[in-house]
Copies of this chain bind each other. A is one copy, B any other.
């Protein structure tokens, strides 16, 4: 961290020998919500996220991701956001003469609407297939019933571990915080309760809790995306990208509930929406089993103001 380094770094390409050669890979987490199911686009029958190398033709990282997704799905990608960059030390770290090799992965979160993607093993998967404990809409006691005993074993008599588990999983007085999806996954990994831990040689064997495994650390990346998304819907109107042109208020509520993994209080949710002035009425109604619901759309001006309003979550209890 010397001045020389800084000068080199901000100049043109560095070609000195100290530095190693690196391969960069882009990973995309594409999310869509259909009805009440939050989905992610996967490859290999749900065991991997779309990924590929950064190519020279890409003007920027974001442009690289966009290019792929649009080539693959023939669908323009709306909102897109960088998630995280990591350099896995265990993979690709081989030295060959003067040149050392290493792989860096840069992940992105994109929001779309679900479309039929014609590929061999390409498919949209329910996100909660990978994190069953994150879906508390129908049964918020899943953790209480299935995971708690296993966690207790790991905690043992350590007060510090107990505090961490309670804070992450909302046990013993702590409130449940939906944003903590990533810390929860990481904690389960550390406890050896997800299959990836055993695969990577971290687990001492024992019970695994439900949840489908993915290649490499793709499931961790997906957890990062879920965390980010849940935090963001509370202060940015990004649901926009996930909804059709017009929709009923209940449909919008179901979409937010799907992402948050929580039931929301109906009238309070509507009051919040009204106070934020995000929507405008259309002249149409959605037919259905009961009284027809008025259809709404997002206000056109919203696109310009993007940076503003927040959608906080009025949580409902059964």
Residues of A within 8 A of B (CB): 1-3, 5-7, 9-15, 18-25, 27-28, 43-44, 48-56, 58-61, 68-69, 71-72, 82, 84-87, 89, 91-95, 100-106, 119-122, 159-160, 163-164, 167-168, 174, 177, 180, 183, 215-216, 218, 301, 304-308
Bound Cα distance A69, B91 (Å): 25
Residues B215 and A10 in contact, CB atoms below 8 Å apart: yes
A95: chain B residues at CB < 8 Å are 56
Stoichiometry, copies per complex: 2
Query: Main SS of chain A's interface residues?
Result: mixed
Given contacts A51-B9, A163-B304, contact A1 B23 (CB under 8 A): no
Bound Cα distance A55, B28 (Å): 26
Residues A22 and B168 in contact, CB atoms below 8 Å apart: no
Given contacts A60-B86, A85-B82, A301-B163, contact A13 B22 (CB under 8 A): no
Residues A60 and B44 in contact, CB atoms below 8 Å apart: no
Bound Cα distance A247, B293 (Å): 57
Residues A51 and B14 in contact, CB atoms below 8 Å apart: no
Pick the residue among B2, B22, B51, B180 that contacts A307 (CB under 8 A): B180
Residues B50 and A1 in contact, CB atoms below 8 Å apart: yes
Residues A92 and B55 in contact, CB atoms below 8 Å apart: no
Bound Cα distance A28, B2 (Å): 12
Bound Cα distance A25, B6 (Å): 10
Known pairs A18-B55, A22-B104; list 14 more (Cβ under 8 Å): A9-B51, A14-B53, A21-B22, A22-B54, A24-B87, A56-B95, A61-B86, A61-B87, A82-B84, A163-B304, A167-B304, A167-B308, A174-B308, A180-B307
